[in-house]
Amino acid sequence: MFFMMDYTPQELMVVAAAREIRDGEIVFTGMRLPLIAFALAKNTHAPRALGLFENGLMRDTPSPELLYTMGDPPNIRGALWATRMINIMGLLQQGLVDMGFIGGAEVDRFGNLNTSYVSAGDQKTKLPGSGGAADIACLSKRLVAIIAHEKRRFVERVSYVTSPGNGDGENFRARVGLPRGRASAVITTRGVLGFDEQTGEAVLQSYHPEQTIDTVRAETGWELRVAPDARETIAPTKKELEIIRQYDPQGFWTR
């Protein structure tokens, strides 16, 4: 489905994700849309950013071809560092990773993510689990989540805390021994949420075209706070769309 403009919701999410990457940062890129967000950031405002991949790779240039998994041969060929997973995860432990992208089945008002279990009545469904997401959430300096914005996913409190964001609010991470990290953004199919630095609670920063504050709130399972300067998400530029479509010409991830 296309917006009336000339880009898809997924392309807008890629652009919003790329904007979270700062020049010179070390970024755990994750899978799917973050793969393209890293390529976009490297080709625009963050040429000195480095991308980390959980399977043991570090890249200072995006893969020359579209990636379907982080272990695809184009991601290995030309890597700055091809090592073992333990060495890459060790960078997290040392406090050297500036930002990490992760996804989830549920997210709550404090940015905690669940990829372990969801319940419907008496039935509990097992999900894929953490992988490296809990490590990324605990040890990177900033956590950015990408998730479809639906009321069943945006819940008051996640069923299971797989990857901690801001816990139960103010000073949570310092209290439990995770002083250097925090949930900083959630990029959704409806908008972009930031987090209050004092309370740790999610705050709507922007709503995507064809959305409003009310439509975003309607698909959120708590009384979502709204920033005083909340506005429509800035649309992708022509250059940004060209880069995305050059990298994903068939729209495998972005259609």
Residues known to be catalytic: 54
The dihedral over CA atoms of 235, 192, 103, 143, expressed in degrees to the nearest 10, equals: 110
Report residue 132 as tokens: 């490296």
Signed CA dihedral, 8, 10, 14, 17: sign only: positive
3-class secondary structure, 197: coil
CB 38 within 8 A of CB 51: yes
CB neighbours of residue 249 within 10 Å:
10
DSSP state of 2: -
Query: Which letter, b or e, does each residue of 176-209 get, where b requires 16 or more Cβ atoms within 10 Å of its Cβ?
Result: eebeebbbbbbbbbbbbbbbeeeebbbbbbbbbe
CB 38 within 8 A of CB 29: yes
